[in-house]
Amino acid sequence: MLSAVDKGAAGGEDGPREFRVEELAEAAGITTRTLRFYRERKLLQPPRREGRIAWYGEAHLARLRMIAELLERGHTLGGIAELIGAGESGRDVAELIGLEAAIVAPWSDETPVHLRWDELRAALGDELTEENTAESLAQGFITVEEDGITHVSRRLMDATTALVAEGVPLSVVLEASRQTLEHVTAIAEIFTSLAREHLLGALASDGPLPPGEAARLTEQVLRIRPLARTVTDAQFALAMDRRVHAEYDRLLRQRREHREDDDGQPAAGS
């Protein structure tokens, strides 16, 4: 007959399943050496001991599966240790992972586009020079390959070729792109500083987050993310209204002055 402990290890009715080291490693799809390494790095909570036998439970298996998932997503063991150290339970760690996902989720939905050199020449003509290609590369928007280039944004590439088709030199388009990049980078810093100083300050502290704090911050980040784009879009539209009206008024004044100079008298209707 099975003892109570043996029943638990076999998944019997007397309690949740427990594993020896070899059984846990097999269930998690890792080697026993890796499992012991995780224990040494304090990535795995201590087992229950009965004499010289260490028994691991379902919580240990769940932790190992979570570590495997984080490694697959590109986390380092050091970063995983920090996440685990910040949470005292599996739920806390899961909430921290959810918070991280909310913070670093992509803002852009741009799709890259690959263009062969003959397609670029057809679209840009004589504007496709080594200098312009080097400037595009320096701005980080393209990667140069043997058969052509890959641009990080189909929309930006389409806008560039459309402006060139309208008669704007590519070098002028690239200079406008460089200045725009500087300004939008500054805008991004404004909003990240706001979030860092007024929303996510608790993450900078050494101690663990209070229970439920990571989940609360995740919901807050998800609510606030769209506001940054809303504010930026509205401010840009208002600024364009002001600048376009001011520039149009300047052009009208310039035309009146030219007509007055040509006629030697004020223009009719002025």
pLDDT digits 0-9 by tens, 159-191: 999 999 999 999 999 999 999 999 999 999 999
Give the residue-averaged pLDDT of 244-257: 93
Confidence of residue 101 (pLDDT cuts 50, 70, 90): confident
Give the residue-averaged pLDDT of 132-155: 96
Q: Higher-confidence residue: 10 or 56?
A: 56
Residue 1 has what pLDDT?
35
Concatenated DSSP letters of 7-49: HHHTT-TTSS--B-HHHHHHHHTS-HHHHHHHHHTT-SPPPEE
Neighbours of 80 (CB within 10 A): 20
Residue 90 has what pLDDT?
56
Confidence of residue 133 (pLDDT cuts 50, 70, 90): very high
Residue 54, helix vs strand vs coil? strand
Return the structure tokens found at 166: 């309208």
Residue 87 has what pLDDT?
60
Give the residue-averaged pLDDT of 194-205: 82
The residue written with tokens 């944004």 in the block is 153
Return d(Cα 80, Cα 68) in angstroms, integer.
10
Residue 78 has what pLDDT?
83
Return the structure tokens found at 56: 């691991």
Give the residue-averaged pLDDT of 260-267: 64
Kindly report, residue by residue over 206-242, the tens digit of the pLDDT.
667 777 888 888 899 999 999 999 999 999 999 999 9
Q: Are 148 and 138 in contact (CB under 8 A)?
A: no
Residue 169 has what pLDDT?
97
Give the residue-averaged pLDDT of 18-30: 93
Does the pLDDT value for residue 4 go beyond 80? no
DSSP 202: G
- Which residues contact residue 62 at a Cβ distance below 8 angstroms, ignoring those fewer than 6 apart? 90
Query: Which structural domains are found in the chain, ordered by start?
Result: 4-86 (1.10.1660.10), 113-263 (no CATH)
| pTM, entire model | 0.65
Q: Higher-confidence residue: 145 or 215?
A: 145
Residue 102 has what pLDDT?
84
Taken in order 221, 222, 224, 229, the sign of the CA dihedral is positive
The residue written with tokens 């993450």 in the block is 203
- Of 33-42, 64-73, 165-174, the poorest mean pLDDT is in 64-73
Neighbours of 75 (CB within 10 A): 17
Return d(Cα 145, Cα 153) in angstroms, integer.
16
